[in-house]
Structure 1
């Protein structure tokens, strides 16, 4: 059994309630799906690592994406072929994406190396993680996060896995300040449907505009990155 497999099995993820709430974030989820899908070519092999409730994998035609997920409560929600152990996957991929997953894994570097080995030469890895340790709050504790990231750390784990980083920016400018306020107010780590809908419809579009104006180089609630396996 690989270290990556051992690590994945030990992840205690209790954020299913938050995942359900986040399904109301229409703009947020659509934006991330567009990012994942924007450069996919017909016939490419794709893996969603840490597919959760299938929010992104289920948007693809059934059978066109493999999904990796270890939470037994979430497996029935995924409409794609699903695996609980990536070592079961004999093939390699043109694209692997992982959205809000690495922060749940203690030894994230080992997992990224495992994913790198699952890429074809020239294959892409897309990573989306929560940013900035200074806004680590009860919400992070509630959903089982080990850490939040900055651009330097994301670059480091990708490069340590032998990948070439092609893109690494902050994402959701305004979300950083909302999250900082959330921490200062000492909230209990839970979110409501009403707060998600308000943020998604009112704040998030403005936040993405600010991302564009700052070119993702100043601050954000998340880090969004892409890397390729050298040919």
Structure 2
């Protein structure tokens, strides 16, 4: 979850989805379709679900029998607004992992998504300590490279950025078996590097995107081509760095 997502929640008609959000969603679907996970799965749980965009998009594709999104910002008022924004459906909104495990059976065949969440925590164990279930799948994604950490990260509430080796070490220490890993959005890494040097006071975020629909589609297309190219290179053993890194895991 990025904190700025909730600034637009009660004014849904006036905001546009940032190309990064749309592209990340499409990257997620591609990573899942290429994984060993057999869909539909029993349950999909989106940790740090923010304004619930991702879980509602997943819901449309019938990838699971049950859907849960978890975020500490989910007050009754926000949950009510989310249901108004997306329409009534069977998605469950839960405020934290402790409540999730209280209300839902600890069944096998569950996919936990933890995308752009760990960087918001002082200690990753705040979440990882709960994810001890066997025979379940996990997808972790985090922003990459501390060298491009900037005021933009501070604005979003980030404590740090990672490289893929650091993410792997954290996950293997917590007994996750890594099935697939890599970077994505290589083109954005160079952009962010320049911004970290020349635009240290950047305040633009996903909640204030104002470009035209055509420009947004163009950016989405570029990012998806970027991702496809990176995936091809990774399959033949060529590592390309990117602005984000991910690990698909099992326990």
State the distance in 1 between where 2:23 and 2:130 align: 31
State the distance in 1 between where 2:7 and 2:27 align: 18
Structure 1: give runs of 5+ residues left out of the alignment.
Answer: 1-10
State the distance in 2 between where 1:204 and 1:43 align: 28
8 Å Cα contact 1:171/1:220 also seen in 2:
yes
Structure 1 stretches (4+) deviating beyond 4 angstroms? Answer: 17-22
Structure 2: give runs of 5+ residues left out of the alignment.
Answer: 10-14, 84-88
8 Å Cα contact 2:183/2:241 also seen in 1:
yes
8 Å Cα contact 1:137/1:189 also seen in 2:
no
Q: Which moved more, 1:189-198 or 1:104-113?
A: 189-198
- In the alignment, which residue of structure 2 is the partner of 1:49? 47
8 Å Cα contact 1:69/1:84 also seen in 2:
yes
State the distance in 2 between where 1:210 and 1:22 align: 27
State the distance in 1 between where 2:142 and 2:96 align: 21
- State the shift of 1:32 in Å: 1.9
- State the shift of 1:133 in Å: 0.5
Q: Secondary structure at the match of 2:50?
A: coil
1:102 aligns with 2:118: yes
State the distance in 2 between where 1:106 and 1:199 align: 36
- In the alignment, which residue of structure 2 is the partner of 1:140? 153
Cα separation, partners in 2 of 1:33 and 1:212, compared to 1, 3 Å? closer
The root-mean-square deviation of aligned C-alpha atoms, in Å, is: 2.9
8 Å Cα contact 1:173/1:210 also seen in 2:
no
- The equivalences for 1:82-231 within 5 A come to 82-88=93-99, 89-90=101-102, 91-92=105-106, 94-115=110-131, 117=132, 119=133, 121-186=134-199, 187-191=201-205, 192-194=209-211, 197=216, 200-215=219-234, 217-229=239-251
State the distance in 1 between where 2:53 and 2:239 align: 28
- The equivalent position to 1:33 in structure 2, one of 10, 29, 35, is 29
- Equivalent pairs counted in the alignment come to 215
8 Å Cα contact 1:47/1:66 also seen in 2:
yes
State the distance in 2 between where 1:101 and 1:144 align: 10
Question: Please, what TM-score do these two structures have when normalized by structure 1?
Answer: 0.80
